[in-house]
């Protein structure tokens, strides 16, 4: 491999494998000038640690051996800067609007050129060739080209890592991500609204990142790509976690960032299929990713032992604060961001199911984080209610998960993953309804948010211990046989008792610490928010689904 840069002294005992027997064959389409950069393809964890520590200021190793790094100014995603190229072959498919903003082919090419020019000026580049999707029938080949060892290690953890034989016969990628995040977009390029740009071009099968070094943009970019390609193959893509019991029963957890998807699916009594992104095919569910991306704020070995133990050598910790001497992480410290994160390979979870493929789900759990404190900790949903709440996707956007969000905001996110949808929400909802019907899955709505009052008033966050007890009761069959009472206005069925959960917590009316009039006013406020949001879907929703909403 040609290398015109000799300022790095090689360790005398290190033997470097040849990364590219034919680099021209591998990179001729990307525009990368391989003759003028040191190219590291699918580098080892040790090599990426070495380079990150040597070349990326502020990178250190935690007391547990994880690589601690900074994503720079951006510590969350930038959804307002996401663009999809508008061109004839895909324009009719895409759900254009606030989620998917149009970008011209010409503007994309300007950004592409800008990214390539930046990458070509680096002394070293990193390439990771991996897979998205554990089912060999549906997996796609993703190539990441980046300038930071941190970004490469992150995607090494998050994509499915190929075997040496698979890498040798990898061939051309199905999609390429060019990450030039340290270099800004030109604000005067048509279609740009800031110096940040995350742009996807489906015909060219490329994604270009400028102006943000937040690694989560790559992860969610892959998810967006799968949200377009998989439904076209008859496979439902889901913003969900999934796990499997010892009897083979699969549970799928829907939920946006901050609702507890990652935490609640990491159950020591069950096998983890994945923590965030899945597909549901004719044979069952499979994980899209090869790793987990867990929130770290207030993390402890007591509350989340599997995740806590996974943060070790090979894992990437983002934007956390450490003790200067001991290098122990202060997980409670949110001075840099509330969105502290860790990316680790899924096999770091001891009970992960490898390969990450399961059967058809028996239980569908929709997680919401209600900051108003009026949704029950658990409700059993009818089929129509399940569709209504899936299309609605209510939650409170949690602090730190997006740039500029500093306290919870009530929001509706279609399919519990609106920022990543490419097709119209009803396309995914219709597929889910059919699959739930075909495989007789039970549906549940679980609120992991506030109880006893609203955020910032009399409410407190529902104990993780209670949420775990509720899910245990679903898996044991206890809740299937429980007695229920109907919650007014929302028409939800609330169990009268759940093992390990105080009875007064189960019903928001009895848990409420404020006045009865304040409670009723807050319930009506949330009901109105639901009804107003659902108005935009009524023209494509059936009457039974519309009737499943709140009644005022």
Catalytic residue among 141, 205, 271, 341: 341
Burial level of 18, CB count in 10 A (0-12/13-18/19+)?
exposed
Catalytic residue among 83, 151, 220, 389: 220
What 8-state DSSP symbol labels residue 372?
Answer: T
For residue 213, the SS3 value is: coil
Angle, vertex CA 528, rays to CA 520 and CA 461, nearest 5: 60
For residue 460, the SS3 value is: strand
Catalytic residue among 69, 196, 262, 395: 262
| Adjacent-strand bridge partners of 253 | 241, 365
Q: Does the annotation count 257 as an active-site position?
A: yes
Catalytic residue among 135, 276, 403, 442: 276
For residue 76, the SS3 value is: coil
Report the interhelical angle of 425-439 vs 383-392 (nearest 10°).
150
Q: Which of 390, 403, 406, 409 is nearest to 454 (CA)?
A: 409
Catalytic residue among 78, 257, 337, 448: 257
Q: Does the annotation count 220 as an active-site position?
A: yes
Contact 126, 150 (CB under 8 A): no
* Element (DSSP H or E) covering residue 218: helix 216-232
Pairing outcome for strands 206-210 and 197-201: antiparallel
Catalytic residue among 41, 77, 83, 156: 77
Q: Does the annotation count 276 as an active-site position?
A: yes
Alpha helices in 363-507 (DSSP H): 383-392, 425-439, 464-476, 503-506
Q: Does the annotation count 261 as an active-site position?
A: yes
* Element (DSSP H or E) covering residue 427: helix 425-439
Looking up tokens 């987990």, which residue turns up?
A: 292
Query: What tokens appear for 369 in the block?
Result: 């984080």
For residue 296, the SS3 value is: coil
Backbone angles phi, psi at 516, to 5 degrees: -60, -35
Q: Does the annotation count 341 as an active-site position?
A: yes
Pairing outcome for strands 492-495 and 460-461: unpaired
What 8-state DSSP symbol labels residue 533?
Answer: H
The residues, any chain, with a CB within 8 Å of residue 216's CB and separated by 6 or more, are 76, 77, 293, 341
Catalytic residue among 239, 362, 427, 475: 239
Catalytic residue among 41, 74, 139, 261: 261
Backbone angles phi, psi at 475, to 5 degrees: -70, -30
The catalytic site residues sit at 77, 220, 239, 257, 261-262, 276, 341
């Amino acid at each position: 491999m040609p290398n015109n840069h000799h300022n790095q002294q090689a360790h005398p005992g290190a033997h470097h494998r040849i990364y590219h027997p034919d680099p021209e064959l591998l990179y001729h389409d990307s525009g990368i000038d391989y003759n003028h950069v040191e190219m590291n393809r699918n580098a080892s964890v040790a090599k990426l640690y070495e380079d990150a520590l040597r070349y990326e200021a502020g990178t250190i190793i935690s007391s547990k051996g994880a690589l601690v790094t900074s994503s720079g100014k951006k510590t969350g995603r930038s959804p307002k800067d996401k663009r999809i190229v508008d061109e004839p072959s895909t324009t009719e498919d895409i759900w254009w609007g606030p989620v998917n903003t149009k970008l011209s082919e010409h503007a994309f090419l300007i950004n592409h050129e800008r990214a390539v020019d930046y990458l070509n000026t680096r002394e070293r580049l990193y390439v990771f060739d991996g897979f998205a999707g554990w089912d060999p029938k549906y997996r796609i080949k993703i190539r990441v080209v980046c300038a930071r060892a941190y970004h490469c290690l992150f995607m090494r953890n998050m994509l499915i890592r190929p075997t040496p034989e698979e890498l040798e016969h990898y061939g051309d990628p199905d999609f390429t991500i060019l990450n030039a995040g340290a270099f800004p977009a030109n604000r005067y390029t048509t279609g740009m609204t800031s110096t940040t740009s995350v742009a996807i071009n489906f015909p060219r099968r490329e994604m270009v990142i400028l102006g943000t070094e937040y690694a989560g943009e790559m992860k969610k970019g892959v998810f967006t790509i799968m949200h377009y390609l998989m439904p076209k193959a008859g496979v439902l893509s889901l913003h969900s976690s999934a796990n499997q019991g010892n009897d083979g029963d699969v549970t799928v957890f829907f939920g946006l960032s901050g609702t507890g998807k990652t935490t609640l699916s990491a159950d020591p009594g069950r096998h983890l299929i994945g923590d965030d992104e899945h597909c549901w095919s004719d044979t069952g569910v499979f994980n899209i990713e090869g790793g987990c991306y867990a929130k770290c704020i207030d993390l402890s070995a007591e509350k989340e032992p599997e995740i806590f133990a996974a943060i070790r050598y090979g894992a990437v910790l983002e934007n956390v604060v450490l003790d200067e001497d001991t290098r122990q992480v202060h997980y409670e410290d949110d001075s840099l961001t509330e969105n502290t994160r860790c990316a680790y390979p899924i096999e770091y979870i001891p009970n992960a199911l490898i390969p990450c493929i399961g059967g058809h789900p028996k239980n569908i759990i929709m997680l919401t984080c209600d900051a108003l404190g009026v949704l029950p900790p658990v409700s059993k949903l009818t089929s129509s209610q399940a569709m209504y709440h899936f299309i609605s996707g209510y939650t409170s956007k949690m602090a730190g998960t997006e740039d500029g969000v500093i306290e919870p905001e009530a929001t509706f996110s279609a399919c519990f993953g609106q920022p990543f949808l490419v097709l119209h929400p009803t396309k995914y909802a219709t597929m889910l309804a059919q699959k739930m019907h075909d495989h007789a899955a039970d549906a549940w709505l679980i609120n992991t948010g506030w109880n006893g009052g609203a955020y910032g008033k009399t409410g407190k966050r529902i104990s993780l211990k209670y949420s775990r007890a509720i899910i245990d009761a679903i898996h044991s069959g206890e809740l299937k046989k429980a007695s229920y009472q109907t919650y007014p206005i929302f028409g939800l069925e609330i169990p009268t008792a759940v093992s390990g959960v105080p009875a007064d917590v189960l019903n928001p009316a009895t848990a409420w610490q404020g006045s009865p009039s304040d409670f009723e006013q807050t319930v009506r406020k949330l009901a109105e928010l639901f009804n107003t949001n659902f108005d935009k879907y009524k023209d494509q929703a059936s009457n039974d689904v519309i009737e499943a909403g709140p009644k005022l």
